[in-house]
């Protein structure tokens, strides 16, 4: 899975760390961690390749609902460490959005 983000600032920033919990239909499914520095240009969209540590028991208990639906509510809550010029801040974030599923 890839996460696509947008840097709304007109200046470039460095992303040092992402630590977030991922949810499907409000049920916790796993954790996404990124501990690599990325340089992000100003006012640009960027992609983070995602590898999740998934708790299968939470995915399996909601699998019937996921198969019967053509879309799922995806959520992510966590923090990221961003900055530039040696000055970095931990910034909390929260995302929720519907994603269409193309299973069949």
Residue 64 has a pLDDT of: 67
Residues of the domain holding 17: 2-100
Q: Are 21 and 69 in contact (CB under 8 A)?
A: no
Rounded Cα gap, residues 101 and 88, in angstroms = 37
pTM exceeding the 0.85 threshold for the entire prediction: no
Rounded Cα gap, residues 66 and 85, in angstroms = 44
44: which 2 tokens? 């640009």
Per-residue pLDDT tens for 8-21? 889 999 999 999 99
**Greatest Cα pair distance in the chain:** 49
| CATH number of 16's domain | 2.60.40.10
Per-residue pLDDT tens for 49-69? 877 777 777 767 667 666 777
10 Å CB burial of residue 9 (0-12, 13-18, 19+) is: middle
Q: Please state the domain count of the chain.
A: 1
């Amino acid at each position: 899975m890839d996460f696509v983000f947008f840097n709304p600032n007109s200046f470039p920033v460095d992303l040092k760390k992402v630590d977030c919990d991922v949810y499907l239909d409000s049920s916790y499914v796993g954790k996404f961690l990124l501990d690599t520095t990325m340089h992000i240009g100003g006012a640009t969209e960027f992609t983070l390749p995602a590898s999740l540590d998934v708790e299968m028991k939470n995915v399996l208990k909601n699998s019937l609902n996921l198969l019967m639906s053509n879309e799922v509510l995806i959520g992510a809550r966590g923090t990221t460490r961003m900055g530039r010029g040696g000055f970095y801040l931990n910034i909390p974030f929260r995302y929720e959005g519907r994603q269409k599923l193309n299973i069949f």
